Structure 1
Amino acid sequence: MTDTIWTAEVAARYDASSAAMFAPEVLGPAVDFLAERAGGGAALELAVGTGRVALPLAARGVPVHGIELSAPMAARLAAKPGGDAVPVTLGDMATATAPGRFRLVYLVFNGITNLLSQDEQVACFLNAARHLEPGGAFVVEVFVPQLRRLPPGEVALPFDVSDDHLGFDRYDVVRQRLVSHHYTVEADGSTSTGRSPHRYVWPAELDLMARIAGMAPTERYADFTAAPFTAESTSHVSVWRTSA
């Protein structure tokens, strides 16, 4: 996937295309939540990307290490102010090993769905558990599949319809996959397109993956503000812990 999706071109425009995720009302609660779960210890971010979360978390005094598949994304992180404080191990988040043990491992912004098979997602949970100290926390932020919104016979749902961006998810319910399609009007008036494949995963399925990895569920919220998770929630932030 690194050659076809997380390329140098994508890395160059990633922050701009994800500007809404950098908004203080989005990023602030995420950093607060993660800093609290780090509990004064070190943190490991899987799929650290360009450092959207890792850099402000490190600025809060939490030692942060990252694992990242895409060298261009990691290079963008390293070039930012404070980037030298977040060392990155290049590799697959399901298998790569970072040095040391951590009080917190986290995977945000739907990163778990970039692993396109159940086996890979289970391997990611096992890898997170291997990196955790006893009693350490694994935090995942991910969307809840919106299959209830699909009318009979339909396979596509819009997730963003705005003046400069159209986004649609096309579901394959047999393989538990979706492909996100993006149509963006750039600053110069040109139009760009993009697509990314995902394997969607249910909260209960993630709990079972955690159990396979020797972790137990301890918290689940609708988002990083700790809003209650309900049947109508479109995303969740879940926490699992290793045995103390």
Structure 2
Amino acid sequence: MIDADGYFGARVAEHYDDPSSHAFQADVIASTVDFLAELAGGGRALELAVGTGRIALPLAQRGVPVHGIELSRAMLARLRAKPGGEAIAVTIGDMAATTVDTKAQGPFPLVYLVYNTIMNLTTQEAQVACFRNAAEQLAPGGSFVVEVMIPELRKLPAGQNIVHFHTSPTKWAYTVYDVTTQAAPCHYITVTPDGRGEHREVPFRYVWPAELDLMAQLAGLRLRERWEGWTRKPFAQDSAQHVSVWEKPIS
């Protein structure tokens, strides 16, 4: 259900940090932080949609000052409650339009957006605006990093439009694909302890690597590298996701 915090209100924020999720495994976080810390090169980093600090906090612990942009105050409250959370500067707002004052310290050597979050922007126009917003706050020679899945259209049998991605005794999750609009809302059905079923829908817009490259070009950025994941495994035809790095030209 949507509220003042968008689709990531208090009920979602309360359970967002799921230790059983792949994204919250220690090795996944470590490889992500290693990758980003190297690109930051001792400078500051800006995380778009910083959320509960899954990446911002360990990156800051590595000596990289992190500033976040976050729409959901409920997610921010979870960040603030964690050790070191108060030290992360956060600006409340939409990641496609909100900017951070860089007059004192200058633009960021690194801007990043992880965990499919670019898909939370549900129009092409908003996704392009996000790239332009990142480029505006990026230092010349700096890097904009996006982690996002490859659309799972190859999993669709003829005449169907649903792909399941989680099944357990108490939770089911699936994506409904619309190939005409690239809408890909995710549906989550959970059985509560009292036996009731709860349904939640979060809208997404899927996006292809080539489309992201064009968005980057429109923002004045150019692709420098693309990997299957944070460990720099080569991106291939059967890759399920990619980590892409675009750079802002020095001149």
Q: State the TM-score, normalized to the length of structure 1.
A: 0.95
Q: Secondary structure at the match of 2:165?
A: strand
Cα displacement string for residues 172-229 of structure 1 (whole angstroms, at most 9, x for unaligned residues): 1111111111123457766543221100000000000000000000010111111111
Alignment partner of 1:202 is 2:204: no
Q: Distance in 2 between matches of 1:117 and 1:18?
A: 31
Q: Distance in 1 between matches of 2:122 and 2:166?
A: 23
Alignment partner of 1:219 is 2:221: no
Q: Secondary structure at the match of 1:227?
A: coil
Aligned-pair distance for 1:152? 1.1
Aligned-pair distance for 1:2? 5.6
Q: 1:120 aligns with which of 113, 116, 126?
A: 126
Q: Distance in 2 between matches of 1:57 and 1:18?
A: 21
- Native 8 Å contact 2:68 2:90 kept in 1: yes
217-226 or 180-189, which deviates more: 180-189
Q: Distance in 2 between matches of 1:190 and 1:41?
A: 49
Q: Secondary structure at the match of 1:88?
A: strand
- Could you tell me which amino acid in structure 1 is paired with residue 231 of structure 2? T
Q: Note the residue ranges of structure 1 that are not aligned, 5 or more in a row.
A: none
Corresponding residue number in structure 2 for 1:171: 177
- Native 8 Å contact 2:18 2:24 kept in 1: no
Aligned-pair distance for 1:102? 0.5
- Native 8 Å contact 2:19 2:25 kept in 1: no
Corresponding residue number in structure 1 for 2:39: 37
Aligned-pair distance for 1:99? 2.3
Cα displacement string for residues 129-179 of structure 1 (whole angstroms, at most 9, x for unaligned residues): 011111000000000001111111101011122344321111111111111
Q: Distance in 2 between matches of 1:102 and 1:240?
A: 14
Superposition RMSD in Å: 1.7
Q: 2:84 aligns with which of 78, 82, 85?
A: 82
Alignment partner of 1:26 is 2:28: yes
Q: State the TM-score, normalized to the length of structure 2.
A: 0.92
13-22 or 161-170, which deviates more: 13-22
Identity %: 54
Number of aligned residues:
244
- Native 8 Å contact 2:68 2:91 kept in 1: yes
Q: Secondary structure at the match of 2:148?
A: strand
- Native 8 Å contact 2:121 2:205 kept in 1: yes
Alignment partner of 1:105 is 2:105: no
Aligned-pair distance for 1:20? 3.1
- Native 8 Å contact 2:109 2:139 kept in 1: yes
- Native 8 Å contact 1:2 1:69 kept in 2: no
Aligned-pair distance for 1:18? 7.0
Corresponding residue number in structure 1 for 2:167: 161
Q: Distance in 1 between matches of 2:249 and 2:47?
A: 20
Aligned-pair distance for 1:27? 1.0
Q: Distance in 2 between matches of 1:107 and 1:121?
A: 12
Pick closer, same or farther for the CA change 1:166–1:31 going to 2, 3 Å.
same
- Could you tell me which amino acid in structure 2 is paired with residue 62 of structure 1? V
Cα displacement string for residues 93-144 of structure 1 (whole angstroms, at most 9, x for unaligned residues): 0000112211100000000000011010000000000111110000000000
Q: 1:232 aligns with which of 235, 238, 244?
A: 238
